[in-house]
A and B are shown apart, each in its own frame.
Chain A
């Protein structure tokens, strides 16, 4: 790990030193700083805080929020909740996967898109929906979803 990255992690380490039960926000901060919870970063903060890296790794693997590889610029969260399912989100997923050439949980080689299926975004009355970096797109058709993605691709 380069010293610059270590320095940034040190700030996080100091923030959580002595705090009880802080593993989740600690990991979230690491992820924000590094882009993912890499093994290297986990071992580093674990050592500095005297928490076995295995313990941190155990927490990180349990929750869907944590990822172990860097994420694309746009996080495409495709809702696979019940309401979206009955409104055809499986077809939407199929189309988006084909369009981006990746499956659920993967990132495009150009690091532009990461596709993630999520349980429910809570916008059921607009089903089927997908969220791109916090923006919800509702009542989607496969075509409309592709249009959204193409728009983002062109903007880059």
Chain B
């Protein structure tokens, strides 16, 4: 009988949900025999604890310290207690059923193949699951052209949002002639491989999870790419808001170097004098636009992260003018799997021109938020209802926001759209990096558009006047509408500004900034019209357009509303009806939330 193993998910989301005291308790009870793993993607069930016994795995969700003690006491098997059984979410034991097994069966884990299963700080565990075999295979058995061809054949496209074919991109960088050697540039064949880990889309956390949970898969992917392209430098550009990702990457790089997968030792390990590749982590400093290729390059060079016109494309002139290939985290994590399993196995998943899988970060008003990796071509409905469990409190679905500030809102009528690049683009949204924020009837769509405009306005680097000033004017218009001062020509004004900003901006940020407005006007025009014409917010969100009032005939005078009011706008004595002073009210809604007899309404 093999030793029983207990693992605790300690990625950012697990820790935020309280996994640290659980891990501590388990370590104490089990004399330290507890393994730290990353994120399984079932964030709504965190903290997660797994028990691996006799080759079978039992994953428990919502584990608090109490449940942890129970897990420890039942470690040796035997009949599972009811308290644990109800927490069992996944298992491969045929005699038990996990509550999430069905959802799990709809997913295909390529990018997330190791996430939540291995200790992200252990290269041995990565290797034990087949890690670095793809790199060995690529360097020892395949020519550089073979590797590029394999990636091309797999149909892998950029997972950062734009969906450019990865193999083709590599081909450009491979074909690019590095500058001739000279005194200041003695090694004239230098090229750069870059991992874009500047995951800036609000609502997206796939890349954070992969970096925290399985950093070696990204490093291996980059090393394979470096071999194919003939690059000797690597940069991982990671946003500073992800401290754990940076820490785990740093540990992983150190280990990979020690074992000779990258760095000086690689020549010896692979017996290829031409393969020499090392990389470093470059921390971003908090600028959304740095997710754009040319802005990222400027930032790596220590400048203000402003985009520049293309051509020259980074493949010809990138970091320090050297040929540079940039792919995002998820794209890189796919690469080792493709080399190991072959292009055909990868392209067996997906549909049309979109092959493989896509990892989505599910958030918003859904029951089961977290990460899901699904084959391309699954419908949005299946993802939202089949995997994310549908809408919280069984309210009605309003829209799903895809692609962050560059994307758009997709309405109910288009829920049967398959998730592939072309179909999503046809709705006016974009696949984007995979953020999926679901909104219900209580979400005001005009407020959401204003939210995104405020975001891009703040993040616009200011280089292109149309983006800098146009988004400002759009934001002002939206603020006017949500404040109840909308004018009848505001919608036309928004649409005309949108097309100007799209056409007059240099980079993706400006070109896509109007998308949230365009899609919401397209699909939810009547909501805009209610704000402008009737000065009414149908979702009852926009503060200037709503007011709270107490139904005095039903008020029991408990005083809870007055106690919870942050601005003391509610008056009344105990056991007598209370009243809200509309002039003082800040429309926070706390009174209504706390009223035991639900006599406070919002109009």
What is the interface of chain A, defined by CB distance below 8 A to chain B?
20-25, 27-28, 58-59, 62-66, 80-87, 91, 94-95, 98, 118-127, 129, 134, 136-138, 142
Q: Which chain B positions have C-beta within 8 A of A81?
A: 202-203
A120 to B203, CA, bound (A): 7
**Is B299 in contact with A24, judged by CB distance below 8 angstroms?**
yes
Q: Is the CB of B241 within 8 A of A122?
A: yes
In addition to A119-B288, A126-B17, 19 A-B residue pairs with Cβ atoms within 8 Å of each other are A24-B285, A28-B285, A59-B302, A63-B287, A64-B286, A80-B202, A82-B202, A82-B364, A82-B437, A83-B437, A85-B202, A118-B286, A123-B16, A124-B203, A125-B44, A125-B369, A125-B370, A126-B13, A137-B16
Q: Which residue of A lies closest to B202 (CB)?
A: A81
Of all chain A residues, the one with the shortest Cβ separation from B362 is A125
For B404, the chain A residues whose CB sits under 8 A away are: 82
Q: CA–CA, A24 to B17, complex, Å?
A: 33
Contacts of B439 in A (CB 8 A): 86
Q: When A81-B202, A86-B439 are in contact, do A22 and B302 touch as well, CB less than 8 Å?
A: yes
Contact call A138/B205, Cβ cutoff below 8 A: no
Once the chains are docked, how many angstroms separate the CA of A24 from the CA of B304? Answer: 9
Q: Are B299 and A120 in contact (CB under 8 A)?
A: no
Contacts of A98 in B (CB 8 A): 566-567
A123 touches B586 (CB 8 A): no
Asked if A120 and B202 make an inter-chain contact with CB atoms under 8 angstroms apart, the answer reads yes
Chain A residues whose C-beta falls within 8 Å of the C-beta of B443 in the assembled complex: 86
- Does the CB pair B320–A62 fall under 8 Å? no
Which residue numbers of B lie inside 8 Å of A, CB to CB?
Answer: 12-13, 15-17, 43-44, 199-205, 208, 240-243, 283-288, 299-306, 320, 361-365, 369-370, 401, 404, 435, 437, 439, 443, 448, 451-452, 455, 459, 461, 566-567, 586, 588-590
Query: Across the interface, do A82 and B451 meet the contact criterion of CB distance under 8 Å?
Result: yes
Task: Choose among B12, B200, B452, B586 the residue that contacts A120 (Cβ–Cβ < 8 A).
Answer: B200
Q: Are A83 and B363 in contact (CB under 8 A)?
A: yes
The chain B residue sitting closest to A27, CB to CB, is B285
Q: Report the nearest A residue to B543, measured CB to CB.
A: A90
Q: When chains A and B are docked, how far (Å) is the Cα of A78 from the Cα of B34?
A: 33
CB neighbours (8 Å) of A94 from chain B are 566, 586, 588
Name which residue of chain B comes closest to A22, CB basis: B302
Which residues on the B side are within 8 Å of A125 (C-beta)?
13, 43-44, 205, 362-363, 369-370
Known contacts A86-B439, A125-B44, A126-B17; is A134 also within 8 Å of B590 by CB?
A: no
Contact A123 B566 (CB under 8 A): no
CA gap between A85 and B516 in the complex, in Å: 15
**A86 to B240, Cβ gap below 8 A?**
no
> Are A129 and B16 closer than 8 Å at their CB atoms?
yes
Q: Which 10 A-B pairs have the closest CB atoms?
A: A125-B369, A81-B202, A64-B286, A21-B302, A63-B285, A124-B363, A125-B43, A136-B16, A83-B363, A120-B202
Q: Complex formed: what's the CA distance from A74 to B277 in Å?
A: 40
**How many whole Å from B412's CB to the nearest CB in chain A?**
16
Out of A63, A86, A118, which one reaches B305, CB within 8 Å? Answer: A63
Of residues A98, A119, A121, A122, which shows the largest number of chain B Cβ atoms within 10 Å of its Cβ? A122
A120→B303 CA distance, assembly (Å):
23
Q: Is the CB of B12 within 8 A of A123?
A: yes
Please give me the residue from chain B that is nearest to A122 by CB atom: B205
Question: Is there contact, CB below 8 Å, between B437 and A65?
Answer: no
The answer for the CA separation of A28 and B455 in the assembled complex, in Å, is 24
Compute how far the CA of A140 lies from the CA of B208 in the bound complex, rounded to whole angstroms: 21
Cβ of B243 and Cβ of A134 under 8 Å apart? yes
Contact check, B437 vs A86: say whether CB atoms are below 8 A apart.
yes
24 contacts between A and B (CB under 8 A): A20-B302, A21-B301, A21-B320, A58-B304, A59-B302, A62-B306, A64-B286, A65-B240, A81-B202, A82-B203, A82-B435, A85-B448, A91-B588, A94-B588, A118-B286, A119-B202, A120-B204, A121-B241, A122-B199, A124-B203, A125-B13, A125-B44, A125-B369, A142-B590
Q: Which residues of A contact B455 (CB under 8 A)?
A: 119
A66→B304 CA distance, assembly (Å): 13
Q: What residues of B have a CB within 8 angstroms of the CB of A129 in the complex?
A: 16
CB <8 Å contact, A83 and B241: no
Query: Could you tell me the distance between the alpha carbons of A83 and B362 in the complex, rounded to whole angstroms?
Result: 9
- Nearest-CB distance from B598 to chain A (Å)? 18
By a CB distance below 8 angstroms, the chain A residues around B243 are: 134
A119 touches B12 (CB 8 A): no
The contact of B588 among A82, A85, A95, by CB within 8 Å, is: A95
The CA of A119 and the CA of B199, in the complex, are separated in Å by 11
A138-B202 in contact (CB<8A): no
A66 to chain B: which residues have CB within 8 Å?
285
A126 with B43: in contact, given A21-B300, A95-B566, A138-B16 (CB under 8 Å)? yes
